[in-house]
Structure 1
Amino acid sequence: MKQWWRRWTYEVPLAIGDALWDVLVVQLAALLDRLTVRKVIAFIPVVILVLAYYHSIPIPPELMLVGDFLAYIDIFSALFLLGVLSRVTTILFVVRQAAARIALLACSVVAHVRRLDVRHRRQRSVPTRPRRKPDQSGDDRAYGGVWDQVAVA
Structure 2
Amino acid sequence: MKQWWRRWTYEVPLAIGDALWEVLVVQLAALLDRLTVRKVVAFIPVVILIGAYYHSIPIPPELMLIGDFLAYIDIFSVLFLIGVLSRVTTILFVVKQAAARVAMLAGHVAAQLQRLDVRHRRTRSAPARPRRRPDRSEDDRAYGGVWGQVALA
For Structure 1 versus Structure 2, the TM-score category normalised by the shorter chain is: 0.5 to 0.7
| Partner of residue 115, structure 1 | 115
Structure 2 distance, partners of 1:12, 1:115, is 96
CA shift at 1:12, angstroms? 3.9
Counterpart of 1:95 in structure 2: which amino acid?
A: V
CA distance in 1, matches of 2:94, 2:28: 47
CA RMSD of aligned residues (A): 2.3
The separation in 1 between residues aligned to 2:56 and 2:63, in whole angstroms, is 16
Rounded to whole Å, the distance in 2 between the matches of 1:90 and 1:28 is 45
State TM-score, norm by structure 1. 0.66
Deviation (angstroms), 1:116: 0.9
How far the C-alpha of 1:19 sits from its partner, in A, is: 2.6
Q: Report the residue type matching 1:58 in the other structure.
A: P
Distance 1:14 1:103, change over 3 A: farther
Residues 32-47 of structure 1 aligned to structure 2 (within 5 Å): 32-47=32-47
Aligned residue number for residue 84 of structure 2 = 84
The code of the aligned residue for 2:95 comes to V
Could you tell me how far 1:46 is from its partner in structure 2?
0.6
The superposition leaves residues 64-113 of structure 1 with CA deviations (integer Å, 9 ceiling, x where unpaired) of 22212222322211111111111111111111111122122112212211
Q: Following superposition of structure 1 onto structure 2, how do residues 1-153 of structure 1 map, counting pairs within 5 Å? A: 6-119=6-119
User: Where does structure 1 lack aligned partners over 5 or more consecutive residues?
Assistant: 122-153
Rounded Cα–Cα distance in structure 2 between residues aligned with 1:2 and 1:110: 100
Which structure is larger by alpha-carbon Rg, 1 or 2?
2
Identity of aligned residues (%): 87
Task: Pick closer, same or farther for the CA change 1:4–1:103 going to 2, 3 Å.
Answer: farther
Paired positions, count? 121
Q: Identify the range of structure 1 (62-71 vs 75-84) with the bigger mean alpha-carbon deviation.
A: 62-71
Name the CA distance, whole Å, in 1 between partners of 2:86 and 2:80.
10
CA distance in 1, matches of 2:119, 2:14: 88
Q: Which amino acid aligns with 1:29?
A: A
Q: What runs of 5+ residues in structure 2 fail to find an aligned partner?
A: 122-153
